[in-house]
């Protein structure tokens, strides 16, 4: 097993590791052990980071994009070399099982190579001018200093989704990682350093949302905020950024459903549900927390799910036999417990789980039993609100149309899935499911980095992480007209 290299983290500002007096411990959610201390910075660290970023960005933007991309290629190779070490550290701080931690680091590697290749594209457009001897084009221009705020549930992947496009497009970054999972931020900053990214192009400021995040959102020189996290925080950021006319990209979760139709391959559906609902202990924005099931197959699905859930092993994710790791912290456990009570009070039927694991082997960590409710109704809070834990509610329906309607009835719109063998339903579903991501015959998780990631309605504000679309929030479109006629030509007037 890898060792944590330091007992005390520092901010990374202008290529220097800057210590901060106020610190808080980072706890391994599987064992309850304190791993190391992370800074609780204040606004002065944000100011210093922005100053460094502003200076660095001017030079960085002048380097041709294909050369900027060379750094990202090196980042990709370094991440690849360090994949196993990073995955183990990720499991220690976040709790997800090693297999999933490896998958998450792989997302970062993929993103590095994908965005590095953008260095040779960053396509703009040429457009005919309405005037003779005049050339018109639109190009992507960097914005300047961008702020990224990333969550604990994907501490390295989401950071790469946001920082890599920002950097390849010629911006400098001020990054606030989640204080629960700072080791991935420290390691990624080290990778950037080792890859030769010029000082100040990325700056990491550790601390709370109410201090560091707030200072970033209010800072005049940060022109973009890209945020993944809770709905409430995202909405506050959006209103403040709106007031300041700051660009903002938000990804704020989901209430994702798997639809199981009467003609579905039930064994496959069970596998898909299990992976999406209980993988990462349900702590993914894309996690399946509703199963909308056709009444004809409801009982058969329940039976098979219960059998499969029996086999789920719960424990420390560093143990390769474990399938479900811990919940990030006690507050997470309390929130899940609250929803279990809500579900029972609302009249949903608890078929499995519903409790925190407190036996000796689990006592120091935060473990919750995979939970299955059935006979849930669309209107119930457990079927509407994001729980962020291993809790899934079955909602029976009578038809395909009703399934689509139930899927779309929530305020979120991130991911959805349908299991069916009917090709007509497949195409109707991809059209009618009101989510940013739709899966057919697969669970709700597992988005690939070269497709846009994000959702409709309350999930976000229309921007997308990853995919080439990730560049949109980090660039401005600049329209450029070059008149080579040698005389003053007036658009709209001198047109023959």
In the complex, the smallest distance separating the C-beta of residue 91 from ligand UN1, rounded to whole angstroms, is 16
What would the x/- binding string for ligand UN1 be over residues 179 to 218, using CB under 6 A? ----------------------------------------
251 is catalytic: yes
15 is a site residue for ligand UN1 (CB under 6 A): no
Which one, of 175, 128, 213, lies nearest residue 13 by Cα? Answer: 175
The site map against ligand UN1 for 21-50 (x = CB under 6 A) is: ------------------------------
Give helix then strand counts, H and E, for the chain. Answer: 13, 21
Q: Which is catalytic among the residues 100, 187, 251, 386?
A: 251
Residue 275 touches ligand UN1, criterion: CB under 6 A: no
**Beta carbon nearer to ligand UN1, 11 or 461:** 461
Residues in contact with ligand UN1, total (CB under 6 A)?
10
- Residue 98's nearest CA partner among 110, 108, 88 is 88
Question: Which residues, listed in sequence order, are joined to residue 477 by a DSSP beta bridge?
Answer: 140
Token digits for 216? Answer: 């970033």
CB of 193 to ligand UN1, least distance (A): 26
Show contacts with ligand UN1 in window 223-242 (CB under 6 A). 228
Cα separation, 333 vs 330, whole angstroms? 5
Q: In the complex with ligand UN1, which residue's Cβ is closer, 420 or 459?
A: 459
How long, in residues, is the chain? Answer: 496
Q: Is 114 in the site for ligand UN1 (CB under 6 A)?
A: no
**Is residue 350 a contact partner of residue 340, using CB atoms and an 8 Å limit?**
yes
| 228 vs 374, beta carbon nearer ligand UN1 | 228
DSSP 186-225: HHHHHHHHHTTPPTTSEEE----IIIIIHHHHH-TTEEEE
Name which of residues 356 to 385 contact ligand UN1 (CB under 6 A). Answer: none
**Given candidates 41, 150, 233, 286, which one binds ligand UN1 under the rule CB under 6 A?**
286
Shortest separation between residue 227's beta carbon and ligand UN1, angstroms: 12
Q: What is residue 465's DSSP assignment? A: B
Minimum CB–partner distance for residue 221 and ligand UN1 (Å): 28
Three-state SS at 288: strand
Phi and psi for 101 in degrees, rounded to 5? -65, -40
| 3 state SS of 438 | strand
| CA nearest to 169, candidates 123, 132, 205, 210 | 123
Q: Is 124 in the site for ligand UN1 (CB under 6 A)?
A: no
Q: Which segment (282-290, 307-315, 366-374, 425-433) binds ligand UN1 by CB under 6 A?
A: 282-290
Q: Token pair of 382, please?
A: 């457990």
If DSSP codes are grouped into helix, strand and coil, which group holds residue 289? strand
Tell me how far apart the alpha carbons of residues 20 and 212 are, in angstroms, rounded to a whole number: 13
Q: Is 256 in the site for ligand UN1 (CB under 6 A)?
A: no
Helix (H, G, I), strand (E, B), or coil: what is residue 296? helix
Q: In a 3-state reduction of DSSP, which class is residue 283?
A: coil
Beta strands 256-260 and 415-419 are parallel
Residues 404-463 that bind ligand UN1 (CB under 6 A): 445-447
Positive/negative CA dihedral, 87, 90, 96, 97: positive
Encoded one letter per residue, x for contact with ligand UN1 by CB under 6 A and - for no contact, window 57-96 reads ----------------------------------------
The interface region with ligand UN1, picked from 8-16, 18-26, 280-288, 343-351 by CB under 6 A, is 280-288
- Closest by Cα among 211, 215, 85, 65 to 140: 65
Nearer to ligand UN1, 388 or 400 (CB): 388
Q: Give every CB contact of residue 446 below 8 A, 6+ residues apart in sequence.
A: 275, 276, 286, 439
Q: Measured from the CB atom, is 228 or 475 closer to ligand UN1?
A: 228
Give the binding range for ligand UN1 (CB under 6 A) out of 112-120, 187-195, 278-286, 314-322. Answer: 278-286
**Cβ(352)–Cβ(265) under 8 Å?**
no
x/- track of binding to ligand UN1 for residues 139-168 (CB under 6 A): --------------xx--------------
| Residue 257 sits in the site that holds ligand UN1 (CB under 6 A) | no
Of 285, 328, 392, 406, the one binding ligand UN1 (CB under 6 A) is 285
Closest distance of CB 334 from ligand UN1, Å: 21
C-alpha pair distances (Å), 81 with each of 76, 96, 104: 9, 21, 15
Mark the segment that binds ligand UN1 (CB under 6 A) among 166-174, 181-189, 196-204, 281-289. 281-289
Alpha helix positions (H), 245-329: 266-278, 298-310
Nearest residue (CB) to ligand UN1, 333 versus 447: 447
CB of 445 to ligand UN1, least distance (A): 3
**Cβ distance to ligand UN1 smaller for residue 281 or 286:** 286
How far apart, in whole angstroms, are the C-alpha atoms of residue 295 and residue 424?
Answer: 20
Q: Which of 223, 284, 290, 464: binder of ligand UN1 (CB under 6 A)? A: 284
Cα-based torsion angle of the residue sequence 137, 245, 454, 395 in order, rounded to the nearest 10 degrees:
-150
Interface residues with ligand UN1 (CB under 6 A) are: 107, 153-154, 228, 284-286, 445-447
Catalytic residues, by residue number, are 251
């Amino acid at each position: 097993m890898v060792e944590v290299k330091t007992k005390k983290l520092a901010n990374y500002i202008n290529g220097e590791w800057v210590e901060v007096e106020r610190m808080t411990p980072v706890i391994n959610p599987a064992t309850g052990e304190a791993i190391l201390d992370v800074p609780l910075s204040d606004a002065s660290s944000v100011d210093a980071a922005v100053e460094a970023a502003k200076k660095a960005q001017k030079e960085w933007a002048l380097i041709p994009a294909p050369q900027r991309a060379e750094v990202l290629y090196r980042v990709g190779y370094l991440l690849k070399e360090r994949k196993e070490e990073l995955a183990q550290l990720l499991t220690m701080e976040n709790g997800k099982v090693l297999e999933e931690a490896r998958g998450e680091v792989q997302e970062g590697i993929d993103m590095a190579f994908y965005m590095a290749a953008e260095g040779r594209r960053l396509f703009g457009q040429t457009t005919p001018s309405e005037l003779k001897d005049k050339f018109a084009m639109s190009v992507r221009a960097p914005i300047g200093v961008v702020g990224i705020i990333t969550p604990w549930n994907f501490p390295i992947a989401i950071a790469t989704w946001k920082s890599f496009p920002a950097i390849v497009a010629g911006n400098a970054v001020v990054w606030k990682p989640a204080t629960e999972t700072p080791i991935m931020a420290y390691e990624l900053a080290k990778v950037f350093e080792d890859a030769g990214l010029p000082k100040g192009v990325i700056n990491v400021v550790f601390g709370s949302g109410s201090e560091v995040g707030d200072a970033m959102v209010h800072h005049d020189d940060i022109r973009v905020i890209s945020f993944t996290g809770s709905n409430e925080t995202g909405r506050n950021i959006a209103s403040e950024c709106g007031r300041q006319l700051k660009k903002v990209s938000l990804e704020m979760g989901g209430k994702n459903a798997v639809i199981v139709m009467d003609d579905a391959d039930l064994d496959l559906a069970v596998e898909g549900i299990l992976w999406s609902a209980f993988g990462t202990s349900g702590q993914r924005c894309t996690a399946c927390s509703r199963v909308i099931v056709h009444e004809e197959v409801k009982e058969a699905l329940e039976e098979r799910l219960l059998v499969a859930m029996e086999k789920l092993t719960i424990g420390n994710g560093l143990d390769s036999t474990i399938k479900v790791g811990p919940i990030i912290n006690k507050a997470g456990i309390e929130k899940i417990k609250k929803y279990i009570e809500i579900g029972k009070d609302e009249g949903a039927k608890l078929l499995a789980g519903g409790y925190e694991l407190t036996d000796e082997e689990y006592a120091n960590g935060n473990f919750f039993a995979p939970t299955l409710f059935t006979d849930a109704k669309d209107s119930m809070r457990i079927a509407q609100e994001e729980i962020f834990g291993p809790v899934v509610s079955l909602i029976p329906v009578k038809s395909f149309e009703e399934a689509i309607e139930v899927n779309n009835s929530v305020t979120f719109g991130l991911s959805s899935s349908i299991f069916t063998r009917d090709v007509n339903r497949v195409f109707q579903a991809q059209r009618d499911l009101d989510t940013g991501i739709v899966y057919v015959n697969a669970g709700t998780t597992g988005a690939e980095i070269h497709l846009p990631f994000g959702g409709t309605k309350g999930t976000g504000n229309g921007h997308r992480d990853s995919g080439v679309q990730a560049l949109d929030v980090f660039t401005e479109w600049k329209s450029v007209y070059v008149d080579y006629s040698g005389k003053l030509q007036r658009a709209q007037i001198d047109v023959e």
